[in-house]
Amino acid sequence: MHHFGNPRFELIRHDVVEPLLLEVDQIYHLACPASPTNVVGTLNMLGLAKRVGARFLLTSTSEVYGDPLQHPQVETYWGNVNPIGVRSCYDEGKRTAETLTMDYHRGAGVEVRIARIFNTYGPRMCIDDGRVVSNFVAQALRKEPLTVYGDGKQTRSFQYVSDLVEGLMRLMEGEHVGPFNLGNPGEFTMLELAQVVQETIDPDAKIEFRPNTEDDPHKRKPDISKAKELLGWEPKIPLRKGLPRMVKDFRQRIFGDHNEDIASSA
Ligand code: UDP
Ligand code: UDP
């Protein structure tokens, strides 16, 4: 953690599912590992925002659109979500979080902001949590085959992390509640992503097909007109520029700093 030495930085280890008493001006509510439900944590953070008069920013997700029947996805689209599927604890949890956020806004006058974040990647990402970009990068570096799920023709649109951070801050500081899609409209099939990873790390990396997970969205691409117009925001870093930055960080963490020269010449 590169902020630990900063006297203006304080880290509190806390589970948001338990109530939390703090004095704050702004709440970036990012808390939720990618999967489990997140309704109670959001309720507590909204309760906190209401008590201290803080502005509350919810990081929702493109998953609220489910397996979308509209392409690209605009904020006015209500989505296509299976309420009893394996992904629904996440999808419906975030949809409920949006509902709570709007109810606290309308009912209690809490100042709120809602971002719908699309697939994001970058340095310091967890190496083994199973997301596709981190999987492919770690696999290529370790000389393992890239695991493509299904036929690899499903699409995602990948946003570099610094673009997202810029968007979240503009949203927090701006005047608009949202929801706003925050994502990069550059759309890739998983096979195309595998190809970009091959070009970036190892042209000889093999591809291995695996069965896909249930209810996997077939297509995903944000329409970001609203964020462009009202937040003056759009992503600046395309996949082919962002990926090498992530690879550099993954190399260092997978092989260790002392092996960096060997690793980067590999
Ligand atoms: N809450 C919290 N910190 C606060 C204020 C509230 O964690 O500073 C929690 C509180 O424990 C409750 C939730 O937020 O579970 C919702 O609070 P609210 O005051 O809106 O609802 P109430 O407690 O009246 O049901
Ligand atoms: N995926 C893949 N290989 C992997 C991990 C994921 O082909 O090793 C696919 C997955 O089936 C999905 C896409 O990549 O179609 C994005 O998956 P991820 O879990 O990164 O994000 P999400 O499903 O939340 O968009």
Which residues are CB-neighbours of 82 under 8 A, at least 6 positions away? 66, 67, 88, 91, 215
Structural tokens at position 201 = 């790390």
For residue 189, what is the enclosing H or E element? strand 187-189
Q: What mean pLDDT value characterizes the chain?
A: 94
From atom 3 of ligand 1, which residue's Cα is the shortest distance away?
A: 48
Q: Atom of ligand 2 at shortest distance to CA of 213?
A: 11
What pTM did the predictor assign?
0.94
Q: Which residue out of 190, 191, 193 has the highest number of ligand 2 atoms within 8 Å of its CB and is therefore the one to mutate?
A: 190
For residue 265, what pLDDT is reported?
Answer: 45
Cα dihedral 161, 100, 24, 35, rounded to 10, equals: -40
Residue among 63, 259, 75 nearest 180 (CA): 75
Ligand 1 pocket test, pick from 44, 56, 106 with the greatest ligand atom count within 8 Å of Cβ, gives 44
Instruction: Give the closest residue (by CA) to ligand 2 atom 11.
Output: 149
d(C-alpha 146, C-alpha 123), whole Å: 19
Q: What pLDDT was estimated at residue 34?
A: 62
Give the nearest ligand 2 atom to 34 CA: 24
Nearest CA owner, ligand 2 atom 13: 132
Could you tell me the distance, in angstroms and rounded to a whole number, from the CA of residue 132 to the centre of ligand 2? Answer: 5
Asked if 98 and 60 count as a contact pair (C-beta separation under 8 A), the reply is yes
Nearest to 160 by CA among 222, 238, 87, 105: 238
In this predicted structure, what is the pLDDT of residue 197? 98
Q: Given this model, what pLDDT does residue 257 score?
A: 64
Residue 57 near ligand 2, beta carbon < 6 Å:
no
Taking the centre of ligand 1 as the mean of its atom positions, its distance from the CA of residue 54, in whole angstroms, is: 13
Centroid of ligand 1 to alpha carbon of 49 (angstroms) = 9
Phi, psi of 68 (to 5 degrees): -70, 140
Q: Which of 51, 52, 101 to mutate to test the pocket of ligand 1 (most atoms within 8 A of CB)?
A: 51
Segments in the chain below pLDDT 50: 260-261, 263-266
